[in-house]
Amino acid sequence: MDVQRELRRLPSVDRLLQEPQVMELIRASGRELVVDVVRAVLEQARHAVLAGQPCPDTEALIAAVAQSLAEALRPTLRRVINATGVIIHTNLGRSPLSEAARRAMWEAGVGYSNLEYDLEQGRRGSRYYHAEALLCRLSGAPAALVVNNNAGAVLLVLSALARGKEVIISRSQLIEIGGGFRIPEVMAQSGARLVEVGTTNRTRLSDYERAITENTALIMRAHRSNFRIIGFTVEPSLGELVELGEKYHIPVVDDLGSGTLLDTAPFGLEHEPMVQESVRAGAALVTFSGDKLLGGPQAGIIVGRKELVEQLRHFPLTRALRVDKITLAGLQATLLHYLKGEALQAIPTWRMIARPLDELRATAERWAEALRAAGLPAEVTAGQSAVGGGSLPGETLPTWCAAIAAPSPDDLARRLRAHEPPVIALIQDDKLLLDPRTVQPDEEETLLQALIHAYHQTQHASEK
């Protein structure tokens, strides 16, 4: 092959831009971006020719430009179908939002809002007003504050109330959650000094009391929301820590991590500490997440004593951690579900937790039947759904899954991820599993069609 002749066949940037199909792309997407894509495609073609490949024809170059442009314009953050059975899937955005929360967030973003405007008084108001009253009513706490996430809430509490002072915590609670968030490092960042007491498995109330000094600012309890310690263990209750704190006039902060307003026990799960229980036990401040078991948007929520919340509200770091109107709108709508007693029906996270086992089996059987009709070796198998999101470690819910015995489950899963929208499934025992617990009703048909298409692709590839 004459490389120089093939290189001369490559059109110039200007010539390719004059092609009618490319001009249409310019009208749709703007000249600057299309020019950049054309240059990149031609450069790629030039390298291919130098490597010994023939020069692509004009149609192939135009197709490459269109494909590259589509990839450049495709958002990297996209909706996916979660068929893993992990309800609060951190990698997939944690809790999906209710219809009311989505609508409230859209309405807050589509125009102006009274975010920091008192409609009655006709003057500046506070953005925190929109969630505080609901949080107080639902938790029983006198005051509340919302920041960007629970790590921010913990950092704010420690920075505002314990900078340069001591915070006592059990060694068994020096936790690390996703993303490398570690309690000791947050304490160091806040300027508070960590005082560890007890051992990994046994910490007594007397350990806390012996550690108290005149420089002690807080006693802290951090709920082990993503792991368990079992066996030969001792740990004081929150109520006992509160009594000790009252004796020495030291506030007790309870970091629940996930945090829930509903009891998880009726659904066959271990009882997860509830926000209301911590408030009733006398915790001075309670921190928890908005996008885990609460089922709302990402937020860090602080409820507790009014004078302490006021200190936090006016601390300079609060400005850096504050939430926007979209988050507050979604959080308020989510909290209203609890107030109206409809959380189990309206909030997707709780609807998935509460979904009956016989309904899951019927759905899995319907899927398997549809897949078999399309030529796929589908069967129904028992499985376990996880709550996820650093909540209820080791706890699962029984479920039923549609299982596919593909020649290469990994290849099938890869092709499902490449679908639009992407489908995320589970591989177990050399089979690809689809758990209906985490698939929304309006996603079922898309899921099945994606799987049928991907399976036949894998079959075709394996026959070559």
Domain assignment of residue 13, given as a range: 3-73
Helices 306-313, 150-162: crossing angle, 10 deg rounding? 100
SS3 16: helix
pLDDT given at position 174:
73
Smallest CA-to-CA distance from 399 within 430, 356, 429 is with 356
Structure tokens at 303: 């409820």
In this structure, are 63 and 196 located in the same domain? no
- Identity of the highest mean pLDDT range in 94-98, 203-207, 230-234: 94-98
Distance between first and last Cα of the chain: 29
Instruction: Find the mean pLDDT for residues 355-369.
Output: 97
Longest dimension (CA), the chain: 91
Residue 228 — pLDDT band, cuts 50, 70, 90?
A: low
Residue 148, pLDDT score: 95
Q: How many domains does the chain have?
A: 3
Residues 342 and 364 in one domain: no
Angle, in degrees to the nearest 10, between helices 58-73 and 20-29: 10
**DSSP state at residue 65:** H
> CB of 45 within 8 A of CB of 56?
yes
What's the pLDDT band for 233 if we cut at 50, 70, 90? low
The angle at the Cα of 117, spanning 112 to 123, to the nearest 5 degrees, equals 135
pLDDT at position 191, please?
Answer: 86
Separation between Cα atoms, residue 260 and residue 262, nearest integer Å: 6
Q: What is the 3-state secondary structure (H, E, C) of 237-293?
A: CHHHHHHHHHHHCCCEEEEEECCECCCCHHHCCCCCCEHHHHHHCCCCEEEEECCCC
Out of 346, 380, 410, pick the residue that ends a domain.
346
How far CA 11 is from CA of 3, 56, 326, in Å, comes to 15, 10, 48
- Under the phi-then-psi rule, with left for phi > 0, alpha for psi from -120 to 50, and beta for the rest, what region is 217? alpha
User: pLDDT value at position 8?
Assistant: 86
Give the C-alpha separation, 170 to 397, whole Å: 31
Cβ-based neighbours of 109, under 8 Å, separated by 6 or more: 325, 326, 329
Is pLDDT of 102 > 60? yes
- Model confidence over 363-395: pLDDT tens digits? 999 999 999 999 999 999 999 999 987 677 778
Verify that 293 and 262 share a domain, yes or no: yes
- Report, as an integer, the average pLDDT of 430-434: 95
Do residue 34 and residue 112 come from a single domain?
no
Domain end call among 331, 346, 361: 346
**Does 238 lie in the same domain as 197?**
yes
pLDDT tens, residue by residue, 183-208: 777 777 888 898 988 887 788 888 88
> Could you tell me if 55 and 107 lie in one domain?
no
Beta-carbon contacts of 270 under 8 Å, excluding residues fewer than 6 positions away, are: 264, 392, 395
**Of 346, 379, 413, which residue is a domain's last?**
346
The tokens for 123 are 């003057």
> How do residues 12-38 score in pLDDT, each as one tens digit?
999 999 999 999 999 999 999 999 999
Tell me, yes or no, whether 282 and 316 share the same domain: yes
Contact status, residue 439 vs residue 445, Cβ threshold 8 Å: no
H or E, element range at 381: strand 378-388
> Token pair 């509903």 is at which residue?
262
**Cβ count within 10 A of residue 161:** 21
Residue whose C-alpha is closest to residue 441's, from 338, 344, 330, 352: 352
397 pLDDT above the threshold of 90 = yes
Q: 421, 447 in Cβ contact below 8 A?
A: no
Where b means 16+ CB within 10 Å and e means fewer, 421-437 reads eebbbbeeeebbbbbbb
CA distance 278 to 147: 20
Q: Measured between alpha carbons, how far is 72 from 32 in angstroms, rounded to an integer?
A: 13
Are the beta carbons of 386 and 410 closer than 8 angstroms?
no
- Could you tell me if 40 and 157 lie in one domain? no
pLDDT tops 80 at residue 182: no
CB-based burial of residue 348 (10 Å sphere; 0-12 exposed, 13-18 middle, 19+ buried)? middle
Whether residue 229 has pLDDT greater than 80: no
Least confident window among 125-134, 194-203, 247-256: 194-203
Task: Give me the pLDDT at residue 407, please.
Answer: 86
Same domain, 135 and 209: yes
- Who contacts 192 (Cβ-Cβ below 8 Å, separation ≥6)? 158, 159, 162, 163, 164, 165, 166, 167, 217, 218
User: Does 176 score more than 80 pLDDT?
Assistant: no
| Same domain as 126, residue 151 | yes
Token digits for 75? 């958002």
Note whether 183 and 332 are same-domain residues: yes
What average pLDDT does this structure show over 114-124?
A: 92
Cα separations (Å) of 395 from 76, 86, 227, 384? 32, 11, 10, 9
pLDDT at 462: 66
CA–CA gap between residue 120 and residue 372 (Å, rounded): 62
* Residue 84 pLDDT exceeds 90: yes
Relative orientation angle of helices 129-139 and 325-339, to the nearest 10 degrees: 30
CATH number at residue 193: 3.40.640.10
Tell me, yes or no, whether 297 and 428 share the same domain.
no
Rounded mean pLDDT, 164-170: 93
Q: What percentage of the chain reaches a pLDDT higher than 90?
A: 76
Q: Average pLDDT, stretch 418-422?
A: 94
Tens digit of pLDDT for each residue in 258-304?
A: 899 999 999 999 899 999 999 999 999 999 999 999 999 999 999 99
**Cβ–Cβ under 8 Å, residues 153 and 287:** yes
